[in-house]
């Protein structure tokens, strides 16, 4: 009930619950006082031979209602169910979840502590650790980076050797723990023609076909428009800023002219959430080792 600030909802829920139980009680009382004539029909016939008889409710059915009422009152006395009343036992779903998490954490803590004492590269070479890391990855990372860790449009491939912020173990730990906020500012003010020149130049940097005249103009615009400040004069990027290398064949959003024009014109914003508070240092360390291991075959 913490999501509802008005006392009305406390009363509303209580009335609904108590009213439902009282309805069962009233039904039992009414049935107990009613007069029945077993074997006598009520004169209602369906489908030719389906008749309604004036028979009492079966005993097992009546007892089922009695058991329901007794169980309901006992349950509501012990557990939360009447608005803000917490029940005699003080049970909460959040409390039970916390207890279960603490129980599991206590069981696996020695193992996590063991790997926490090892450096990331050593953990990455441990088969058992990598099985644990993979399970962590499949739980928390697969939604963005894919089951095969090859990413998708806007989500980096973790299996290659290309890293926006660096692929060293400490950088991977930093990325997972603190998250990243990648921002490519929009440059619509440059005008459509200049942006098309820039797109041609950017494509040429990685060996993609482009109009030579526009490439020459784009090279000048690349320097004058301030692109070198993030991507460096050679277009090789800057990991300190998370600015991508434009000279390789790795594209986060796509390498088509239209996509590059869209990126330059409108900019890009990409957020990697921080996981330290949720997972804790030990799990981040193990997960970083797994991510590190994914790209080692690419070197």
Residue 244 domain boundaries: 183-272
Same domain? For 202 and 154 the reply is no
**Residue 156: band (very low, low, confident or very high) from pLDDT cuts 50, 70, 90:** very high
Same structural domain, 262 and 199: yes
| Whether residue 268 is found in the same domain as residue 197 | yes
Tally of structural domains, the chain:
3
Shared domain check, 62 and 48: yes
0.85 surpassed by pTM: no
Report if residue 94 sits inside a domain: no
For the record, the structure tokens of 106 come out as 């206590």
User: Which tokens go with 295?
Assistant: 């790209």
Say if 86 falls within a structural domain.
no
Tell me the pLDDT tens digit for each residue of 101-142: 899 888 888 989 999 999 999 999 999 999 999 999 999 999
pLDDT at 9: 86
What are the DSSP calls for 35-80, one per residue? ---TT-EEEEEETTTEEEE-PPPPHHHHHHHHHHHHHHHHHHHHSS
Please write the tens of the pLDDT for every residue from 184-241: 999 999 999 999 999 999 999 999 999 999 999 999 999 999 999 999 999 999 999 9
Is 170's pLDDT higher than 90? Answer: yes
Do 229 and 107 lie in a common domain? no
Q: Where among 62, 78, 94 does a domain terminate?
A: 78
């Amino acid at each position: 009930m913490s999501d509802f600030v008005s006392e009305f909802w406390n009363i509303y829920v209580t009335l609904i619950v108590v009213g439902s139980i009282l309805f069962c009680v009233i039904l039992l009382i009414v049935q107990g006082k009613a007069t029945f004539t077993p074997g006598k029909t009520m004169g209602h016939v369906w489908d030719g031979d389906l008749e309604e008889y004036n028979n009492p409710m079966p005993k097992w059915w009546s007892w089922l209602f009695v058991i329901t009422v007794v169980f309901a009152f006992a349950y509501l006395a012990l557990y939360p169910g009447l608005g803000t009343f917490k029940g005699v036992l003080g049970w909460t779903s959040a409390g039970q979840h916390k207890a279960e998490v603490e129980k599991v954490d206590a069981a696996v803590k020695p193992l996590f502590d063991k790997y926490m004492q090892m450096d990331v590269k050593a953990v990455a070479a441990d088969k058992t650790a990598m099985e644990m890391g993979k399970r962590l990855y499949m739980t928390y990372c697969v939604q963005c980076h894919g089951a095969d860790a090859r990413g998708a449009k806007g989500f980096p491939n973790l299996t290659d050797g290309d890293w926006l912020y660096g692929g060293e173990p400490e950088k991977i730990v930093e990325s997972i723990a603190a998250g990243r906020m990648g921002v490519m500012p929009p440059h619509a003010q440059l005008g459509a023609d200049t942006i098309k020149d820039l797109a041609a130049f950017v494509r040429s940097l990685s060996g993609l076909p482009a109009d030579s005249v526009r490439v020459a103009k784009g090279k000048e615009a690349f320097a004058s428009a301030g692109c070198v400040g993030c991507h460096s004069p050679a277009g090789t990027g800057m990991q300190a800023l998370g600015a991508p290398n434009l000279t390789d064949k790795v594209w986060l959003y796509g390498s088509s002219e239209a996509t590059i024009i869209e990126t330059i014109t409108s900019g890009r914003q990409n957020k990697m959430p921080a996981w330290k508070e949720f997972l804790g240092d030990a799990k981040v360390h193990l997960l970083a080792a797994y991510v590190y291991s994914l790209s080692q075959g690419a070197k």
